[in-house]
Amino acid sequence: MTGTFSRGLVAGAAGTAALHAVTYLDMALRGRPASTVPEQLVDAVADATGTAVPGHGSTRDARRRGLGELAGIANGVGLGVVFSLVRSAGVRMPFPVGAVVKGAAAMAATDVPVAALGVSDPRRWSREDWIADAVPHLAYGAVAQAVVSSIPTPKERVLPRQKATGGLVGRSLLLGVAAGGRSSLGIAGPTLSAADTGAVKKLASLASLAGELYADKQPATPERTSAGALPARLASGAGGGAQLARRQGANAALPVLAGIAGSAAGSFGG
């Protein structure tokens, strides 16, 4: 039997192998050189942390290359574990959708740090640059999706997920709107309303709500749509939708999406 973590490791490793295979195939067909972005990213991280890659000349270059490739492998394998956890949480996607979502997530996990650290500006990339970046990541997403969907965990075998109803999606949307206004409501709402929730969990949920109400009154609290606050609200909306879906034994894909959409609406419109 394969557990969630081991399945994620397999999915991430297989996806990373597919990404590298497509990348090297592109290099062989087009005769293009290897990307220097991994080494540049290593340099940028070293500069940001006040450290330096040891060595000189070719020795240092080899270490930069090795560190860059290891970071890419860790990124791919780590995302595989995340995808497996998401599936274990009840999110089921059709193969084409899952492949694109996972490929886009892997692409963002690389390109966002590259842009944030000033290594490259994706806004200036050509169409060929985008294709060379997107196709290998799509291959990663397709293989990772194939692995996580074809290897159910023991719990997934005995607890199949049903199709989400319109009512469930609607409640997830409303819960997301509430989470956009008060991020703790995304998780606290389902916890407080569940009949089988223990007193300790309910008290903890009430404490989180009270803490957020107090924090909102403080002048140093960031705006709900700021880069530091918005991701937490979106995650809360997604988590709330997943909790509602789990309670009904339903596929959490649409409830999670509705929760995210609702929290975005609540954050910007509240």
* DSSP one-letter string for 234-270: HHHHHHHHHHHHHHHTB--HHHHHHHHHHHHHHHHH-
- Is pLDDT at 270 greater than 70 in this prediction? no
Could you report the per-residue pLDDT of 112-124, keeping only the tens digit for each? 999 999 999 998 9
Mean pLDDT over the full length of the chain: 91
Domain boundary among 111, 138, 158: 158
- Report the b/e string of 213-244 with b at 16+ CB within 10 A: eeeeeeeeeeebeeeeebeebbbbbbbbbbbb
Q: Which domain holds residue 210?
A: 166-269
What is residue 243's predicted lDDT score, i.e. its pLDDT?
A: 92
From 250, 90, 87, 233, select the one nearest 171 (Cα to Cα): 250
What is residue 94's predicted lDDT score, i.e. its pLDDT?
A: 94
What is residue 1's predicted lDDT score, i.e. its pLDDT?
A: 55
What is residue 109's predicted lDDT score, i.e. its pLDDT?
A: 95
Could you report the per-residue pLDDT of 129-151, keeping only the tens digit for each? 999 999 999 999 999 999 999 99
What is residue 204's predicted lDDT score, i.e. its pLDDT?
A: 86
What is residue 197's predicted lDDT score, i.e. its pLDDT?
A: 78
Q: How far apart are CA 18 and CA 13, in angstroms?
A: 9
Report whether 190 contacts 255 (CB < 8 A).
Answer: no
Number of folded domains in the chain? 2
* Same-domain status, 186 and 94: no
Could you report the per-residue pLDDT of 46-94, keeping only the tens digit for each? 999 999 899 889 999 999 999 999 999 999 999 999 999 999 999 999 9
* Same-domain status, 121 and 185: no
SS3 11: helix
- Is pLDDT at 216 greater than 80 in this prediction? no
Report whether 111 contacts 54 (CB < 8 A).
Answer: no
Q: How far apart are CA 77 and CA 223, in angstroms?
A: 34
Domain boundary among 112, 131, 158: 158
- Identity at 76, one-letter amino acid code: G
Report whether 117 contacts 48 (CB < 8 A).
Answer: yes
Domain boundary among 158, 185, 212: 158
* Same-domain status, 53 and 19: yes
SS3 162: strand
Q: How far apart are CA 180 and CA 233, in angstroms?
A: 6
- Is pLDDT at 224 greater than 90 in this prediction? no
